[in-house]
Chain A
Amino acid sequence: QKEVEQNSGPLSVPEGAIASLNCTYSDRGSQSFFWYRQYSGKSPELIMSIYSNGDKEDGRFTAQLNKASQYVSLLIRDSQPSDSATYLCAGAGAGSYQLTFGKGTKLSVIP
């Protein structure tokens, strides 16, 4: 059974710090990975996608993928209170369009 594991948190970081969110997955066939942000009472919003090993940067966000270790992470630099939300990690297998979601990590950025 395909699983995506995330630490549920809450993860608390001070404003301006780096928030590090981690995710592991069980399906070695997974090819694509996504980070979504979900504010309370709202639907998920795509932040980043990553398909290749290594780092991918987009503004204050950096996604990291290590397929050998089956590990995906999201770094948020210069964390802001507005980053406080639940972050969902998701993976998709080769040729599959269904996403397997983790349960999410709740991030709190303390002013």
Chain B
Amino acid sequence: GAVVSQHPSRVICKSGTSVKIECRSLDFQATTMFWYRQFPKKSLMLMATSNEGSKATYEQGVEKDKFLINHASLTLSTLTVTSAHPEDSSFYICSARGRIAGGPRVADTQYFGPGTRLTVL
């Protein structure tokens, strides 16, 4: 249980284009999803938190107009990097928390997706 998928796993795009990353919880309903960014050899940086059906809460310094988050259902959240630039190149990771029948206490357990490596040329 507690499988989170991300698509695509890797994307290379030209500067100025927009890139959409999907995050899905496959075997549980994710009441909350989180988006992180990680630069090489650096720690995870929380970008935003999204609850199903409501607007995402962005961390300080994260541009909400550049990083659009949609959490349309209990199993899907998307992150769109708009007008991407080379400095947006990073490893983007989503995580989800929710309820898993018969599983560990999950009210505050985050399960991570495999990540999406974005390279902007």
A residues with CB within 8 A of B: 31-32, 34, 36, 41-46, 49, 51, 88, 90, 92, 96-99, 101-104
B43→A101 contact, CB < 8 A: yes
| B78 adjacent to chain A (CB < 8 Å) | no
Contact of A97 among B107, B112, B113 (CB under 8 A): B107
| B80 adjacent to chain A (CB < 8 Å) | no
Contact residues in B for A49 (Cβ distance below 8 Å): 104-105, 109
Among A88, A97, A103, chain B packs the most CB atoms within 10 A around the CB of A97
Ordered nearest first, which 8 A-B pairs have the shortest CB separation? A43-B115, A103-B43, A92-B108, A43-B112, A43-B93, A44-B112, A32-B108, A43-B114
Total interface residues on B, CB under 8 Å, equals: 21
- Could you tell me the distance between the alpha carbons of A1 and B2 in the complex, rounded to whole angstroms? 30
Bitwise, B10-26 to A at CB < 8 A (1) or not (0) is 00000000000000000
Contacting residues of chain B (69-121) with chain A, CB-CB under 8 angstroms: 91, 93, 97, 104-105, 107-115
B residues with CB within 8 A of A: 2, 32, 34, 43-44, 46, 49, 91, 93, 97, 104-105, 107-115
B110→A99 contact, CB < 8 A: yes
Contact residues in A for B109 (Cβ distance below 8 Å): 32, 34, 46, 49
Take A49-B104, A49-B105 as given contacts and tell me if A98 and B111 are in contact as well, using a CB distance cutoff of 8 Å.
Answer: no
Contact residues in B for A92 (Cβ distance below 8 Å): 108
Chain A proximity of B9: nearest CB distance (Å): 10
A101→B44 contact, CB < 8 A: yes
- Could you tell me the distance between the alpha carbons of A31 and B112 in the complex, rounded to whole angstroms? 20
